[in-house]
Amino acid sequence: MYQLDKKNDDHTRLVENDPRWQKVMSRDKSARDFVFAVQSTAIYCLACCPARRPNPENISFYNTPAEAEAAGYRACKRCKPDQADAGDKIRNLIEQACRRIELAEENIPLAELAKAAGLSPFYFQRQFKAITGLTPKLYARTERARRMREALTDKDSNVTQAIYDAGFQSSSRFYHHADDMLGMSPTAFKKGGKNMEIRFAVAECSLGSVLIGATSKGICAVTLGDDPEELVQNLQDRFPQAELFAGDKEFETHIAAVIAHIENPAQDFDLPLDIQGTIFQQKVWQALRDIPSGQTTSYSDLASRIGQPKASRAVAGACGANKIAVIIPCHRVVRNNGDLSGYRWGVERKRALLIKEQQKAQTKPD
């Protein structure tokens, strides 16, 4: 009896220490490179299966559905792991459509994209949004915004040429969405923020020096560091032609609100933000703001939250592009095993923020 119990305990420890078990416990939608089988029910499932989690002592992992079936298990009727290949086929078709949109010089009609995929327009659009988090139309707009930014940074191009190079069929259509895509007028972006006014101030907090910058729309920068002069120089480098003004008495409200949020990230932040990024980046940043203080997530989980489970690398890029520290809490993203990943403003600051948030969450009254 002792040997049997010891064998079960050893198996349980092996399962609990297997990285795949954490994906099962978190119902990771992106984990499709294995299935898990439950001895007590003789059923095998995907990691994302909505069924109640089994005890680890009853769990076995298999690389493919075929291996699980060869071992005597049958497919779960809820998550349908034996149909995962069909899902992969749809994802491949959507990925091909994305590449086609990215390379196209003009908008591709929905019907044409659907026909190329061999799907009805309604089903194609539904699957496209489920996988990418965007409709084909919004995906194309995001891609044009990326092209626009690249074109505007080309010293040899002018704004008009950049508009057409980015795939806009008319300048009026571009200007209608310019502020959302660039955070400013295209001329100001081209000229490094020329004619753009940014008020700023540098203060001290528990994480060191903090720079707060704001346009007329709202806070556009919160950066952390050890050298106040370096923080100001980085702001100037980002907007080389913008007019920078030291914050006045009224700006002290912004300073106080940001520092208060750094010291207690659990409290709401009510000041407006001037978030300058692509539609995709803004989706990632909003998902970050939806993570409760004291909790963490991984890049793969964050990708699943925005409906793009295969976009972990792009999500990591969006986190790295964040210029509004703490308020857009990219510090809450960790590796799949829970270890700290890189942080724009230093891993030690990230660790300090997470410890502070976890302590606040533990002491929060019920």
Q: Mind telling me the catalytic residues?
A: 45, 330
State the Cα–Cα distance between residues 364 and 234, nearest whole angstrom: 37
User: What residue type is 358 in one-letter code?
Assistant: Q
Q: Cβ(151)–Cβ(157) under 8 Å?
A: yes
- 171-182 helix and 136-152 helix, angle to the nearest 10 degrees: 80
Q: Cβ(43)–Cβ(27) under 8 Å?
A: no
User: What residue type is 271 in one-letter code?
Assistant: L
Instruction: Judge whether 49 is annotated as a binding position.
Output: yes
What φ, ψ does residue 328 adopt, rounded to 5°?
Answer: -100, 100
State the Cα–Cα distance between residues 312 and 317, nearest whole angstrom: 9
Residue spans of beta strands (DSSP E) within 250-329: 297-298
Number of H helices, E strands in the chain: 16, 10
Instruction: Judge whether 205 is annotated as a binding position.
Output: no
Instruction: Judge whether 45 is annotated as a binding position.
Output: yes
Token representation of residue 77: 């009727």
Instruction: Judge whether 79 is annotated as a binding position.
Output: yes
Token representation of residue 23: 């994906």
State the Cα–Cα distance between residues 121 and 96, nearest whole angstrom: 16
**Pairing outcome for strands 197-205 and 219-225:** unpaired
Nearest residue to 137 via CA among 114, 163, 170, 165: 114
Annotated binding site: 45, 49, 76, 79
Annotated binding site for Zn(2+): 45, 49, 76, 79
